[in-house]
Structure 1
Amino acid sequence: MNVRAKVSSKGQVVIPKQIRDDLGIAEGSEVEFVPKAGGFFVQLVEDFDPRYPRVPAGEFLKHVVRIARPFPTDEEIEQAMLAEAARRYNATRD
């Protein structure tokens, strides 16, 4: 079945109702454009994508590394980098 739609000045296209109904596309649904033989294939993005499994917040947070002191400032990081660069430079001179 071929169905046509016009592109607006903003590059928007309205997906015809018949196709939305057939694909199960509702307001707020996400679609993906997949390159296919000189054109594009439009498909509904499922809630569950095996490439990006949903992880409960508690499962994610158990892997967060906690440190007892505050994160170093930009100046402290710069000083540490310069000290390490000087140490490596001096090591090649001995």
Structure 2
Amino acid sequence: MVVTEELQVYVVYATPQDEFILPMRVAPGTTIGQAIEGSGVLARYPDINLVTQPVGIYGKKKTLDTVLRERDRVEIYRSLVADPKDSRRRRAAKKG
């Protein structure tokens, strides 16, 4: 009988007022979607919509069916409030 070690992963989500960071132990073969479901983040933040909001690992967008590896940090991304390029242009204009 082969005993497989569980993986240590993290599920994270942040709002302007709060942050959610949950270290989890998951079975090998667990997907991003399964980890998010098991983390409780969807109950705590009911406005999360996994159909429209992108997810990723360490800043790189991934799909919900991506299989996790040891120490992956699963991130749920929110929509940007402002376009970063427009914000940069406004700051540059103020300096000039």
- Taking structure 2 as the reference length, the TM-score comes to 0.27
Using CA pairs below 8 Å that are at least 6 residues apart, which structure has the higher relative contact order?
Answer: 2
Q: Which TM-score applies when normalising by structure 1?
A: 0.27
